[in-house]
Amino acid sequence: MNDLEIVIGLEVHTQVKTESKIFCACSTKFESPPNTNICPVCCGYPGVLPVFNEKVLSLALKVSCALNCNINKDIYFERKSYFYPDLPKNYQISQYKMPLGEKGYLEISTGRKIIINRVHMEEDAGKLIHKDNYSLVDFNRTGTPLLEIVSDPDIHSPQEAYDYLNSMKLLLIYIGVSDCDMEKGSLRCDANVSLRKKGAAKLGIRVELKNMNTFNGVRAALEYEVKRQSKVINKGENVVQETRLWDFQKLKTVVMRTKSDAHDYRYFPEPDLLNFCVSDELIESVKKSVGELPLEKKRRFMKNYDILEKEINVLISYPWLSKFFEEIILFYPKAKDVCNWLIGPFLEQVNNLDNGFSAVKISAENFSKIVKFFSEGKLNNLGAKKVLALGLTTNEDIDSIIEREKLVQVSDHEELLKFVEEVISSNPKAVQEYLEGKQKSIMFLVGQVMKNTRGKANPKVAKDILERRIQI
């Protein structure tokens, strides 16, 4: 294996977020009952004419710009002909010779810039649902706008492929082009992989991989395939050019078809759509709308805020979280404290909400108060979490929650001393154990003080007083 180099190329299909399909006015809604979002155009009835949805162009341009591609301004579509039960027209309208974007790159977290070969627009096919001895077809997805983003064979390990996919997904979400939900099929990925002797100019024989439904699946399939191919090569045999399917239950790839079954798609220009030219004004305005990309944001955060890279990675991984973070910072500038509360208790509570972040109502200002009160000792950990839980989906004023729930932390010595004395006299065994050197016992006693004060005691102060009282 050591003298072999891994060469991987990835083909990502992503559904772009539009209300209607690419060549007709049917809805793209995912949840609709089967075969309700269909019309003669997307079902390929004879005599119908497709009409191009301009929104797809601006979103596809946005992706091409964010991926640093050269833009081909002349747009024309071609027909890719093949027969399959989920494709009522028996051809797919796609871009072939002249993709919208070409020769760009995607920078991944390691700093490597993976070359993007092409970005093109096309329509999706329908969906087959296989039952025991029959299959059903749902044409709702037929004609949904897709972007195909193809990398050069420029990726050199399964892990790098995984990083590329994560970076691509985050970028597409950031620029608002796709929700990239793999479960809904709005992001799909095929891979090709080959091995060659290190330093060799010619690529090895490549195998295409399909049917990988998660990024982990892509990485696992590539790892399996690299091992399989290196065994073949080390035996002195040749890898067979073929398409293989990832079996995620058996964790292996199996042959789907060999090169001899390869399609000839008979591409030719789509006669029902006019050629047109994208204006420079549109390209310029789309470029301006791209905004800050995830990696740029990460670098800015690393420069401006004193928080760890792994914490920044969490903030960046959700566009709304990084935005919320910066809104809170305007009210309370201690980035570290804000970050701890966001990626800790806040995310934990948000994940427990049915609708996730969309159910969150708390304002940045109110959230900043919780962090501030905790940092200043007005609230203890338990109290702050409780205030957060109460204000998270209501945005009730933090001061009134604290007052109503009587959550102000008790740090006052006099007041805590009473509780400490009580705990010491009612737990002689734990006190004795602490005196004999069992450090853990002090935490038990602190716990008792917390319990008796209904969680309001400042645990640090309580521990100090306990230690001093017991030593006397």
Question: Which residues make up the interface to Zn ion (CB under 5 A)?
Answer: 24, 26, 39, 41-42
With left for phi above 0 and alpha for psi between -120 and 50, is residue 83 left, alpha or beta?
Answer: beta
Nearer to Zn ion, 27 or 313 (CB): 27
- Cα–Cα separations (whole angstroms), residue 190 to 67, 283, 304, 314: 19, 29, 38, 27
Which of 229, 114, 233, 92 lies closest to 166, judged by CA? 114
With left for phi above 0 and alpha for psi between -120 and 50, is residue 301 left, alpha or beta?
Answer: alpha
Nearer to Zn ion, 39 or 321 (CB): 39
Q: How far is the CB of 123 from Zn ion (least distance, A)?
A: 10
Which of 114, 119, 118, 128 lies closest to 164, judged by CA? 114
Nearer to Zn ion, 25 or 302 (CB): 25
Q: How far is the CB of 16 from Zn ion (least distance, A)?
A: 16
Q: How far is the CB of 41 from Zn ion (least distance, A)?
A: 5
Q: How far is the CB of 138 from Zn ion (least distance, A)?
A: 13
Q: How far is the CB of 146 from Zn ion (least distance, A)?
A: 15
- Cα–Cα separations (whole angstroms), residue 316 to 171, 273, 313, 326: 11, 41, 5, 11
Rounded CA separation 205/232 (Å):
12
Q: How far is the CB of 273 from Zn ion (least distance, A)?
A: 15
Q: What is the torsional sign of CA 310, 314, 319, 324?
A: negative
Q: How far is the CB of 32 from Zn ion (least distance, A)?
A: 12
Q: How far is the CB of 278 from Zn ion (least distance, A)?
A: 25
Q: How far is the CB of 37 from Zn ion (least distance, A)?
A: 7
Nearer to Zn ion, 126 or 158 (CB): 126
**DSSP-assigned beta bridge partners for residue 193:** 8, 207
Nearer to Zn ion, 51 or 353 (CB): 51
Q: How far is the CB of 265 from Zn ion (least distance, A)?
A: 23
Side-chain-side CA neighbours of residue 459 (13 Å): 17
Query: Residue 255: is it exposed, middle or buried by C-beta count within 10 angstroms (0-12/13-18/19+)?
Result: exposed
Q: How far is the CB of 26 from Zn ion (least distance, A)?
A: 3
CB atoms within 10 A of CB 180: 19
Q: How far is the CB of 24 from Zn ion (least distance, A)?
A: 3
**Token digits of residue 445:** 């006693």
Nearer to Zn ion, 139 or 373 (CB): 139
Residue type, 188: R
Nearer to Zn ion, 124 or 225 (CB): 124
Which of 52, 49, 74 lies closest to 276, judged by CA? 74
Residue type, 384: A
Nearer to Zn ion, 29 or 263 (CB): 29
With left for phi above 0 and alpha for psi between -120 and 50, is residue 130 left, alpha or beta?
Answer: beta
Nearer to Zn ion, 39 or 329 (CB): 39
CA 315 vs. chain centroid, Å, equals 12
Nearer to Zn ion, 26 or 449 (CB): 26
Nearer to Zn ion, 138 or 225 (CB): 138
Between helix 364-376 and helix 398-405 the angle, nearest 10°, is 50
Nearer to Zn ion, 41 or 108 (CB): 41
